[in-house]
Amino acid sequence: MPFPTRTIALWAALIAASALLGFGLKLAQFPAALLLGPMVAAIVFGVRGAPLRMPKPAFQAAQAMIGCMVAHAITAEITKTLIADGPLILLVVGVTVLAGALVGLILTRLRVLPGTTAAWGSSPGGAAAMVAMAEEYGSDPRLVAFMQYVRVAAVVLSASLVARLLTDSATAGPPPAAAEAATFLPVLVTLAVAAVGAGVALWLRLAAGALIGPMLLGAALHATGVASISLPLPILELAYATIGWYVGLRFTRETLRATLHALPGILVATLAVILLCAGWALGLTHLLAIDFLTAFLATSPGGLDSVAIIAVGSKVDVSFVLAVQTLRLFVVLITGPLLAKWIARAVPQEPA
């Protein structure tokens, strides 16, 4: 069934606006400009009621590409980082997860959001997985998505701004998967890794499987030298834009209207988590030989895919950032249901 003419026109307008914003941010030397531009444009279109949705298979394909990009950066150095600084990294991850749980508990006790919605919505990372699991456990997925993607948008904006202010753009390199000449065979192998990794992970019903599957499979093959991970820059840029559109178009007028009374609390909670993580990042610079931007990106409570895009476009210790973010994603996926149940039990239920 062909797209209606209006839908085609809206997509063309969104693509044009995204290109304009992305190009402008790139000229301003913002990291992840081609993620940030499409996301901002999509938020505007979504809130204004444009009947556009990014198909989930397209979003999963984009996640698979980002998984391969992350896999290219995951080397033996990440293992060394986890071994050398494991206890401290676990502490950082634990503090971030507990901060999200505390915010969820406070919002739930204050009845800013109904039931355990705040518990799922405040989990730091794994936005798509938290939305899916929240629906299975009876929470309102729209409100959870709203909280999660407000935080993702805030983290992307703040992390991009901090990276722009602290990064010497003249020394920031291209994404590692695009740094090599993208020859035909490595690209074909990479696309096969993306398809197989995502397919198996989704078949196993792993949370965030489209991202985690290619990342784990690609990292194992790349780090051991069995295969070379390589992606042309246009494919990566399309993946960036797709993720930006998927996130941005979730901000609809209806969702905003339904959660308007909760917006101040959500924004305060989001800012509080970001500032808390920034404080921990500052503390890490005194405990480890890392710069503030590396620590800030490592502790940022955003999605792994979004933070990875920003990290590889900035002058940071990508191995450390990805080690912390990857570990936290797994911790969040494991502890999310447990924390939500704990918050539900800790908050007195309203009488029927």
**Structure confidence at residue 14 as a pLDDT band (50, 70, 90):** very high
Q: What single letter denotes the amino acid at residue 6?
A: R
Provide the CB-side half-sphere exposure for 258 (13 A, CA).
15
Q: Which residue has the higher pLDDT, 259 or 324?
A: 324
Give residue 135's pLDDT. Answer: 58
In 39-139, DSSP assigns E strands to: none
Residues 149-156 have a mean pLDDT of 77
Instruction: Provide the whole-model pTM.
Output: 0.66
> 302 and 152 in contact (C-beta within 8 Å)?
yes
| Average pLDDT in the chain | 77
Instruction: Pick the range with the lowest mean pLDDT from 3-12, 31-40, 48-57.
Output: 31-40
pLDDT value, residue 352: 40
Average pLDDT over every residue of 123-132: 63
pLDDT recorded at residue 186? 79
Within 139-250, strands assigned E span none
**Predicted confidence band of residue 141 (pLDDT cuts 50, 70, 90):** low
Per-residue pLDDT for 162 more than 90?
A: no
Please tell me which residue, 333 or 225, carries the higher pLDDT value: 225
CA atoms within 13 A on the CB side of 1: 2
Q: What is the mean pLDDT of residues 78-99?
A: 77
**pLDDT value at position 80?**
72
Angle between helices 184-203 and 209-223 (to 10 degrees): 130
State the CB neighbour count (10 A cutoff) for residue 51. 12
Instruction: Report the C-alpha gap between 65 and 59 in whole angstroms.
Output: 10
Q: Are 71 and 222 in contact (CB under 8 A)?
A: yes
For residue 91, the tally of other CB atoms under 10 A from its CB is: 14
